Amino acid sequence: MTNQNIDKRIELQISDNIAHVSFNRAKKHNALDMAMFYAIRETINDLRRDHSIRAVIVEGKGEDFCSGLDIKAVMKSAKAPLQLLFKWLPWHANLAQYVSVGWRKIPAPVIMVIHGRCWGGGLQIALGGDFRIAAPDASIAVMEARWGLIPDMGGTLALRELLSLDIAKELAMTGATITGEQALNYGLVTHVDEDPSEKALQLAQAICQQSPDAVAATKKLYNKSWWSKPGFALARESYYQIKILLGRNRKIKTYNQLHQDGKPREFVNRQNW
The predicted-structure confidence for 105-164, as pLDDT tens digits, reads as follows 999 999 999 999 999 999 999 999 999 999 999 999 999 898 888 998 999 999 999 999
Over residues 5-30, mean pLDDT = 94
What residues pair up with 113 in beta bridges, in sequence order?
133
Backbone angles phi, psi at 87, to 5 degrees: -150, 150
Over residues 170-175, mean pLDDT = 96
Per-domain boundaries in the chain: 2-207, 211-258
The order of strands in the sheet holding 110-114 is 2-6, 10-15, 18-23, 55-60, 110-114, 131-134, 191-192
Over residues 53-65, mean pLDDT = 98
Is residue 166 pLDDT above 90, yes or no? Answer: yes
Model confidence at 1, pLDDT cuts 50, 70, 90, reads low
Stated as kind and residue range, the H or E segment containing 45 is helix 34-49
Q: Which amino acid is at 65?
A: F
Asked whether the whole model's pTM tops 0.85, one would answer yes
Return the closest-CA partner of residue 137 out of 178, 179, 177, 183: 179
Mean pLDDT score of the chain, rounded to an integer? Answer: 94
Is residue 197 pLDDT above 80, yes or no? Answer: yes
Is residue 66 pLDDT above 90, yes or no? Answer: yes
Just give the CATH number of 2-207: 3.90.226.10
Is residue 206 pLDDT above 80, yes or no? Answer: yes
> What span, in angstroms and rounded, lies between the C-alpha atoms of 108 and 131?
12
Just give the CATH number of 211-258: 1.10.12
